Amino acid sequence: MVDYWNRIVWPMLEGAQMTILLFFIAILVSIPLGFILTLAVQSRFKPLAWLSQIYITVMRGTPLLLQLLLICFGLPMLPVVGEYLVFDRFVAACIGFVLNYAAYFAEIFRGGLISIDKGQYEAAKVLGLTKWQTTTRIILPQMFRVALPAVANESITLIKDTALLYAVAVPELLHFAQTAVNREFTIVPYFIAGVIYLAMTLILTVFFKWLERRYKYE
Amino acid sequence: MALIEVTNLKKSFGNQEVLKSISFSVDKKEVIAMIGPSGSGKSTLLRSLIHLEEIDNGSICIDGDFLVKDGQYANQADIRKITGKMGMVFQHFNLFPHLTVKENLILAPKLRKSESMEEIEKRCMDLLRKVGLSDKANAYPSNLSGGQKQRVAIARSLMLNPQILLFDEPTSALDPELTGEVLKVMKDLAEEHMTMIVVTHEMGFAREVANRVIFMDGGEIIESNEPEQFFQHPQHERTKAFLHKNWK
C-alpha cells in the first residue's frame, strides 16, 4: 500500500503542484491583462481598439493547443529571431495560457461593463464624482460582480485545460498519470487523476459560490 | 436676480429639433411643475440644466454663473462648480446597487472631502429620518420598494446641500399606491422653500404644490402660469387639449 502510494499517487500529487502553479500564474496575470484589454477595446483611440479586438478574435477563434504548440515549438523555428524565443517549457506554457485566457476574460468583463445601466454614470455625474471616481467606485465593483459567475466558469475550465500541458511535455498531473498507467499496466491512475481534478474544481466552485454570496448586495 | 436663467436654448438629436429656442427663468424658492406630452422635450430641457445633455445654442445661467453662454460651454472646472449647485432625482432612482442606503448617501460628500466624517454621517442620518427611512440605513437598494428607493434618492441628492433640485418624472416608475410617500417628501421640501423643477405627470402635485406650471409641447414652452390660472383658464388650444385628455 505504502509502495503503491510512493510509486503512483505521490508523483501525481507532485504533478498536481505544477497544475496548481500554472493555474495561479495564469489566473493572476490573465485577469488583469483581460481587464486592460477590455478597456483597450473601448478606447477612443481607434487603432488600439481595433488591434485589441483582432487579438481577442484570433485568441478565442483558434485552439489553445495550437497556440501552445506554436509558442513551444513554432517560435524557435522562426528565422533570425527564433533563437531568442526558446523558452523553458513551463514558461512557454504560462505565456500561452495567459495570452489565451486574457482574451476570454476581456470578453467576460466587456459583458459586465455593457450590462451597467447608463443611469449609474448619470447619477455619479450629478453627484459630482470625477470620471476616475465613477470608474473605481461605481462601475468596476458592479462590473466584477456581474462577471463573477462567468469568471468562476472560466476558472474551472482553466484547471481542466492545464491537462493540455501533456502535449508539450511539461510534467504535470496527467503526465504522471499516463506514466503510471504505462509502467504499472493499470488504469487506476486515470481515476486517481480524475479525483484530483475533481477535488480542485470543487474547491474552486465552493470558493466562487462563497464570493457570490459575499457580494450579493442584499 | 433669477436663480436659473435660460435664453434661446436650442437642441437637436440628429435632424430632430427637440428644443426650439426655449427661454424661461426660475426664481429662488419657486417650485415649477413642467408638464406636457411625452416627446415634448421637457426631460431633455431638465437634463440640459445639469449638463447631462449638451445644448447646441443659447445660454444657461445658474445663480449668476454661465454654464453655457451663446452655445459656448464654461471650462470643465467651472461646469463642475456650477452643476454642483443642483441635485437631480431620476425616474429610475439610479441608486448604486452595490452600496447600502447609508453608503449611497455618504459617498459623494466623502469623496469631496470638504467636511468631517462625523458631519457627513450626522447629515446622512438626519436626512434618512426626514424621508422616514432611518431604519433602512444598512439595507441594500434591492431590498427596498420603489417608493423607498426614490425617497433614498431624494435624500442622497440633498446630501450635497444643493440650491436647486431637479426631478425627472420621479413617480412615473412607481406603482400608484407608492407615489404618495414620494410626493409627500417633495411637498415637505417645497414647504421648506427648496427651489425645485419637477417634470411630472402628476397633475394633482402640479396643482397643489407648484407655484408655476410650465406646459411644453413640440419642443416649445406653450404656456406658463400659476396653477390656479393654468388649470382653470388655460389660454392655449394645445394646453386645453392636453388637459382635457390628462386631467379631469
Distance, CA of A174 to CA of A166 (rounded, Å): 7
> What's residue B248's pLDDT?
60
- Give the dihedral sign, CA B90/B96/B102/B106: negative
Name B76's Cβ contacts closer than 8 Å, sequence gap at least 6: none
Place of cell 502535449: A167
Alpha-carbon gap: B183 to the closest alpha carbon of chain A (Å)? 21
Angle at B71 between CA B69 and CA B72, to 5 degrees: 65
**Structurally, how many domains does chain B consist of?**
1
Answer yes or no: do A217 and B86 touch at CB < 8 A. no
- Domain coverage including residue B176: 2-246
Measured between beta carbons, the chain B residues lying within 8 angstroms of A126 are: 50, 52, 83, 86-88, 157
Residue B36 reports pLDDT greater than 80: yes
Name A99's Cβ contacts closer than 8 Å, sequence gap at least 6: A30, A59, A67
pLDDT, one tens digit per residue, over B124-145 is 999 999 999 999 999 999 999 9
- Complex prediction ipTM: 0.93
Distance, CA of B155 to CA of B185 (rounded, Å): 10
**For chain B, which residues lie within 8 Å of any Cβ of chain A, measuring from their own Cβ?**
50-52, 80, 83-84, 86-88, 90, 92, 94-98, 107-108, 111-112, 140-143, 156-157, 160
**Structurally, how many domains does chain A consist of?**
1
* Of the candidates A40, A35, A50, the residue with the CA atom closest to the CA atom of residue A106: A35
Pairing of strands B65-69, B16-26: unpaired
> What is the average pLDDT value for chain B, to the nearest integer?
94
Beta strands in chain A (DSSP E): none
B50, B52, B98: best mutation site toward chain A, by most A Cβ within 10 Å? B98
Three-state SS at A128: coil
Share of chain B above pLDDT 90, in %: 87
pLDDT, one tens digit per residue, over B105-121 is 999 999 998 899 999 99
Cα A183 from chain centroid (whole Å): 32
Place of cell 461646469: B79
* Of the candidates B165, B151, B130, B137, the residue with the CA atom closest to the CA atom of residue B28: B165
> What's residue A10's pLDDT?
83
Measured between beta carbons, the chain B residues lying within 8 angstroms of A133 are: 111
pLDDT, one tens digit per residue, over B175-191 is 988 899 999 999 999 99
Residue A217: which of B86, B107, B140 has the nearest Cβ?
B140
CATH classification at residue B45: 3.40.50.300
Residue A119: which of B84, B92, B156 has the nearest Cβ?
B92
Answer yes or no: do A127 and B160 touch at CB < 8 A. yes
Global pTM? 0.88
Residue A123: which of B84, B94, B160 has the nearest Cβ?
B94
- Domain coverage including residue A184: 1-215
Q: For residue A78, give the H/E element and its range.
A: none
> What's residue B84's pLDDT?
94
> What's residue B64's pLDDT?
93
Q: Locate B63 and state its grid cell.
A: 445663480
Residue A122: which of B90, B95, B156 has the nearest Cβ?
B90
Number of H helices and E strands in chain A, helices first, is: 10, 0
Mean pLDDT score, B231-237: 91
Residue of B nearest to A124 (CA): B108
Place of cell 499496466: A185
Q: pLDDT under 70 in chain A at which residues? A: 1
Alpha-carbon gap: A32 to the closest alpha carbon of chain B (Å)? 21
Answer yes or no: do B98 and A123 touch at CB < 8 A. no
CATH classification at residue A147: 1.10.3720.10
B94, B113, B164: best mutation site toward chain A, by most A Cβ within 10 Å? B94
- Are A40 and A49 in contact by the 8 Å Cβ rule? The answer is yes
Mean pLDDT score, B2-12: 95
Measured between beta carbons, the chain B residues lying within 8 angstroms of A128 are: 80, 83-84, 108, 112, 160
Answer yes or no: do B83 and A215 touch at CB < 8 A. no
pLDDT, one tens digit per residue, over B189-230 is 999 999 999 999 989 889 989 999 999 999 999 999 999 999
> What's residue A13's pLDDT?
86
Measured between beta carbons, the chain A residues lying within 8 angstroms of B51 are: 125
